[in-house]
Structure 1
């Protein structure tokens, strides 16, 4: 799976960019560069144009049967999901979903509940997903993203920033590197990223997530890895519920 988002939709952390990024990165969105490269590499792939916000792409070839890829769209909410969730039955009941709902539908409904009513903090929403997963969600109504990886990093998942500061995400490191050069790194385990809140840990929601310079085999700094800082603490963010009509997309 692959996604590229404009900076206004998903602003990548500054530390993700390599000091030499201009020398090695490209523009992922220019003339459909990365989407075309993805299509040429994966026969039968599907690309979803998100207009000025970017694009999503996925394919079903060479899938790991234990970590399948899923895609769904519900009410202008797009979601790419890879992996599996073990407590599916419990989550279906929690969110009032039908027996036929799968993991990607659960993620969309969990996000929509968070956006519209905010009954739980966002870190709890992700922490409630017990399993091995990575997902990319885009809400076209609010131009917002919601991205997460499980606590063990079970699904290979990478992110980076290209020459025009677009955020690039995918499960293929070579695909991300094609656009981002040295400005890419594994997406941090046990973390989630949102348009309004940036990168946070759902395992340790009261601790800051800080960059650690990443050095390649030649000794050059190549962006950063992000780690939970056990020494830092931040204030807990509350979401007082004000009714189902409220849009929480600017608060999570």
Structure 2
């Protein structure tokens, strides 16, 4: 799977940008669909969805791990790529009022929609409720916002980086990430989620800040940073007081 988002939709954390970018240059991943075309060359059966000025997403079901299948769905202009599996599907379907045929990607879309439309839980709890091995990329074309997450063990290969124009690039294919981002990439942080409004957060430790730890590759060169929970730094706790028309997801 692949997603490239314009920086007004998903701003890349500063730590992903490496000082050596000029020595291992990235391309403009959105220009003429260059990275999507590269992804399609590796996965001939890939389908690419153009999100207009916001970016693009691509997915393929070939060369996949049968234990970590890829799923894609669109519901009410919400696009979601999901890889992996969720163990507690039955109680989640009941919680969100979904039918028997609903699968993991539909659950994620409904969980996001419930959160967006004044759901009863904060975003970290919504992700924490997903028990299993997974990574997902969700884009809401109505609000031009993203919701991205990976499980606590990093069970699914999942990488993110920034291209030459600071577009955020995400993929389960490390060669695609290298092609688009040069050395400005890293594994997506375990047990974390990213939103357009709130940036990167830990759903395991929602009240702790995350700090960038510089990553060094096998040749000793600085690359994009890994993000770790900072045990010494705390966010403000408590539910913000907002009006009834407010979008709760903007506060997490």
Shorter-chain TM-score bucket reads over 0.9
Quote the residue 2:153 is aligned against: 152
Q: Distance in 2 between matches of 1:250 and 1:229?
A: 23
For residues 1-252 of structure 1, what are the structure 2 equivalents within 5 Å? 1-24=1-24, 25-240=26-241, 243=244, 246-252=246-252
1:118 Cα deviation from its structure 2 partner: 3.1
Q: Distance in 2 between matches of 1:194 and 1:143?
A: 11
1:22 Cα deviation from its structure 2 partner: 3.2
1:236 Cα deviation from its structure 2 partner: 1.7
Q: Distance in 2 between matches of 1:125 and 1:153?
A: 18
SS at match of 2:227: strand
1:219 Cα deviation from its structure 2 partner: 1.8
1:31 Cα deviation from its structure 2 partner: 1.3
Q: Distance in 1 between matches of 2:238 and 2:74?
A: 29
> Once the two structures are superposed, what CA deviation does each residue of 1:27-68 show, in whole Å capped at 9, x if it has no partner?
101111101111111111100000000000000101111100
Q: Distance in 2 between matches of 1:9 and 1:237?
A: 27
Does structure 2 retain, via aligned residues, the 8 Å contact 1:20–1:182? yes
Does structure 2 retain, via aligned residues, the 8 Å contact 1:117–1:241? no
1:138 Cα deviation from its structure 2 partner: 0.1
Does structure 1 retain, via aligned residues, the 8 Å contact 2:118–2:249? no
Does structure 1 retain, via aligned residues, the 8 Å contact 2:123–2:249? no
Root-mean-square deviation over aligned CA pairs = 1.2
1:240 Cα deviation from its structure 2 partner: 4.7
1:171 Cα deviation from its structure 2 partner: 0.2
Q: Distance in 2 between matches of 1:70 and 1:218?
A: 36
Q: Distance in 2 between matches of 1:58 and 1:212?
A: 30
Number of equivalent positions? 251
> Once the two structures are superposed, what CA deviation does each residue of 1:198-248 show, in whole Å capped at 9, x if it has no partner?
0000001111111001011222211201111112211125155754x5433
SS at match of 1:238: coil
TM-score by length of 2: 0.96
**Worse-matched range after superposition: 224-233 or 125-134:** 224-233
Q: Distance in 2 between matches of 1:3 and 1:239?
A: 31
Gap regions ≥5 residues in structure 2: none
SS at match of 1:229: strand
Q: Distance in 1 between matches of 2:164 and 2:192?
A: 25
Does structure 2 retain, via aligned residues, the 8 Å contact 1:119–1:239? no
Runs of 4+ in 1 over 6 A off after TM superposition: none
**Worse-matched range after superposition: 232-241 or 206-215:** 232-241
TM-score by length of 1: 0.96
**Worse-matched range after superposition: 145-154 or 24-33:** 24-33
SS at match of 1:250: helix
Q: Distance in 2 between matches of 1:130 and 1:65?
A: 18
